[in-house]
Amino acid sequence: MFIKISADKTLNAISEEFSARFPYLKLKFFSATHAVGEESSLWDTLNMSLPISEVGSFDHEEVLEIHGDTLVSSMEQEFQRLFNIGVQVMRHDGQHWTQTTATDTWTLAQQNAEGQHTSV
């Protein structure tokens, strides 16, 4: 899948596009970046209705290529590198959403399958 990131695209729109491909996952954005395997503080959660150009470093439009075999950590680090904002892949776990920090080395397909398994 490809996600086109333009200056006026909201964080919510980015997350919704991502979730259309991976329905048991979503993206949550944070003002602070993080290391691989590190949890993000809820205090740093960004307003999902804001356009990406208002919350991060935005130089020009980007097109991100994301596939099922993409590692969670690779995708998160790429967002941080390009836009200087933190992003966490969140997995649906039954009744709630959880940060995938302990499983950052899993692929997006693995995370999505686990989310599907725990949501039945």
- The reply to whether the predicted model has a pTM over 0.75 is yes
Buried/exposed 42-75: b ≥16 CB within 10 Å, e otherwise: eeeebebeebbeebbebeeeeebebeeebbbbeb
Specify the pLDDT at position 109: 98
**What pLDDT digit, counting tens, does each position of 100-118 carry?**
999 999 999 999 999 999 9
Specify the pLDDT at position 95: 85
Q: DSSP per residue over 29-44, as a string? A: EESS---TTPPPPGGG
Residue 58 clears pLDDT 90, i.e. is over it: no
